[in-house]
Amino acid sequence: MARIGIMWRQLAYYYLIIIVTVSVLALLVAEKTERYYLRGIEEDLRIRAELIEEVLVGYLPGGHVADIDQIAKKLGRKIGTRITVIAPDGVVLGDSEEDPERMEN
């Protein structure tokens, strides 16, 4: 009888070890997965920003706000991303969803 009790106790310890190990692994995998997807999102946003910069760079030094706003609206629709172009002094030059004249910064 004592051997059966010891066997069940050992089995319970093994189950506990397995549960703790699986839980730790699940947390590690979740963290790695989150980091992986965040890096992908960051990379996608960086690439979009660089492409938008390439398109707008010719309009920015002294460009007309109406032209910049139209380009922002057109690009925003095409890539499904809100685009806001802000001058170094904080003035909104263009936005893909709003009228830049009514935006504060």
Per-residue pLDDT band at 2 (split at 50, 70, 90): low
Per-residue pLDDT band at 102 (split at 50, 70, 90): confident
The pair phi, psi for residue 89, each rounded to 5°, is: -85, 5
d(CA 78, CA 48): 11
Domain ranges for the chain:
1-45, 58-100
- The mean-pLDDT minimum among 28-32, 63-67, 73-77 falls in 63-67
The torsion defined by the Cα of 17, 19, 24 and 27, in degrees rounded to 10, comes to 180
Q: Specify whether the CB–CB gap between 91 and 105 falls below 8 A.
A: yes
pLDDT in tens, 35-73: 999 999 999 999 998 988 888 887 777 667 678 889 999
Task: Record the pTM.
Answer: 0.63
d(CA 50, CA 83): 12
